[in-house]
């Protein structure tokens, strides 16, 4: 199969649609030599400035991780934060997870696009408006075993609201983990700082390209890390990383 990486997204092809600002990208998860048992996801992307309507490299890497860990996701509850185009959450749904896709409640265009993408891929995900740091009624019913977040560590001014939400969800569902992929711009210092501040612990830290197939990695760039985070069970004066 010929793979077109012109959009900068490894392992995807693009199909233009009638609106010149919009494309449908196709994302494949499986062996590059044969897709008989693979998962295929279609994403409606917009070339406008709305960053929630574009598939970023962190999303591709997190989605690939979900695919490679698919036995772990079958039959569990998953919440994706800041889902945008929702690629990781859609892969989780395809492999049998019960998925809730969330995005800032004020971003109506992105939420509408998420619903269209779910229909396009014939998956039954709940789409929910969830603004980080806002405690409305809907968040109290969420008890995910896995929380996903692709490229959610891009704006330092949002870190407190993001991690307040993450910690609440972790506490609301004992034994759960937060799995996020992010552009590493400061070594491990950012994660270390956040773990200490929010009394969380790093369960696993990976180079995002260490598990990515070469035929996908060739179309991506950047220093991307993937981290699994859980609640810290250490004493007050112990290191939480």
**For residue 154, what is the domain's CATH number?**
3.40.50.150
Quickly count: other Cβ atoms within 10 Å of residue 156's Cβ: 8
Is 149 contained in some domain?
yes
Picking from 3, 117, 113, 92, the residue whose alpha carbon sits closest to that of residue 39 is 92
Bridging pattern class, strands 200-207 and 224-231: antiparallel
Element (H, E) at 209: none
pLDDT digits (tens, 9 = 90+) for 53-82: 889 999 999 999 999 999 999 999 999 999
| Residue 4 belongs to a domain | no
- What's the distance, CA 25 to chain centroid? 17
Q: What are phi and psi of 51, to 5 degrees?
A: -70, -15
- Would you give the DSSP letter of residue 210? S
Indicate whether 44 belongs to any domain: no
Q: What is the span of the domain harbouring residue 184?
A: 50-231
Q: For residue 36, what pLDDT is reported?
A: 57
Q: Looking at the domain assignment, is residue 221 inside a domain? A: yes
Residue 130 counted as domain residue: yes
Tell me the pTM.
0.87
pLDDT (tens digit per residue) in 170-215 = 999 999 999 999 999 777 788 999 999 999 999 999 999 999 999 8
DSSP state of 188: B
Neighbouring-strand partners of residue 225: 182, 207
| Residue 206 located in a structural domain | yes
The pLDDT of residue 21: 79
Tally of domains within the chain: 1
69 located within any domain:
yes
Q: Is residue 169 part of a domain?
A: yes
Angle at the Cα of 210 (from 206 to 215), degrees rounded to 5? 145
User: How far is CA 90 from its chain centroid?
Assistant: 9
Strand partners, 127: 101
């Amino acid at each position: 199969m010929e793979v077109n990486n012109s959009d900068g997204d490894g392992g995807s092809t693009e199909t233009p649609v009638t609106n010149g600002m919009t494309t449908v990208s196709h994302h494949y998860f499986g062996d590059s030599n044969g897709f008989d048992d693979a998962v295929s996801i279609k994403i409606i992307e917009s070339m406008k400035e709305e960053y929630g309507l574009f598939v970023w490299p962190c999303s591709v890497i997190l989605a690939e991780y979900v695919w490679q860990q698919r036995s772990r996701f079958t039959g569990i509850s998953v919440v994706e934060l800041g889902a945008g185009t929702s690629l990781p959450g859609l892969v989780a749904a395809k492999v049998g997870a019960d998925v809730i896709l969330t995005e800032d409640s004020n971003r109506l265009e992105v939420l509408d696009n998420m619903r269209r993408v779910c229909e396009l891929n014939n998956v039954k995900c709940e789409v929910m408006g969830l603004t980080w740091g806002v405690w409305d009624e809907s968040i109290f019913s969420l008890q995910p075993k896995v929380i996903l977040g692709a490229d959610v560590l891009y704006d330092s001014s949002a870190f407190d609201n993001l991690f307040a939400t993450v910690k609440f969800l972790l506490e609301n569902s004992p034994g759960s983990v937060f799995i996020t992929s992010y552009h590493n711009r400061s070594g491990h210092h950012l994660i270390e700082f956040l773990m200490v501040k929010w009394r969380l612990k790093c369960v696993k830290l990976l180079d995002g390209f260490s598990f990515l197939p070469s035929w996908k990695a060739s179309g991506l760039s950047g220093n991307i890390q993937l981290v699994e985070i859980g609640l810290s069970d250490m004493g007050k004066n112990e290191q939480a990383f």
